[in-house]
Amino acid sequence: MIRWDERSRPGPVAGVTAADVQGLQLSAARYVLEPDAVVPEHAHENEEFGQVLNGTLELTTAGTVEQLAAGDAFLIAGGIPHAARAGTGGCELLECYAPPRAPR
């Protein structure tokens, strides 16, 4: 059983709250982004699947900008630069990574 609220802590950047779990071949995280919170461009070796649970998200992947709403999902290959900005109402995301990301 995963209770995200019990795992919640400050995220990797200002305006982001994170909760994560680690498996042997996959890790998962829930991120809550405050309105207009920005996740700067970054890349990592892990494939990343993300689903917008609530709110909206502007996702920039390799220079392409997409607007995502609740129910929309994305898949980013490892090594691809990407960045994000929460919409004016904030955003809640569920993300999965393979191989697992190192615990923070």
Let me know if residue 103 belongs to a domain.
no
Count of domains for the chain: 1
Q: Are strands 16-22 and 9-10 parallel, antiparallel or unpaired?
A: antiparallel
**Structure confidence by residue, pLDDT tens digits, 20-67:** 999 999 999 999 999 999 999 999 999 999 999 999 999 999 889 999
Does 104 fall in a domain? no
The residue to which tokens 């990301």 are assigned? 101
User: CB–CB of 34/16 below 8 Å?
Assistant: yes
Q: Specify if 62 maps to a domain.
A: yes
In terms of Cβ atoms closer than 10 Å to its own Cβ (0-12, 13-18, 19+), residue 49 is: middle
Which amino acid, 69? A
Query: Which tokens go with 17?
Result: 């709250």
pTM of the model: 0.94
- DSSP bridge partners of 37: none
* 54 lies in some domain: yes
CATH at 86: 2.60.120.10
Average pLDDT in the 5-11 region? Answer: 95
Query: Which tens digits make up the pLDDT trace of 62-90?
Result: 889 999 999 999 999 999 999 999 999 99
For residue 13, what are the domain limits?
Answer: 4-98
Is the pLDDT at 103 greater than 80? The verdict is: no
Whether pLDDT at 104 is above 90: no
Do the domain assignments include residue 18? Answer: yes
Domain-located, residue 88: yes
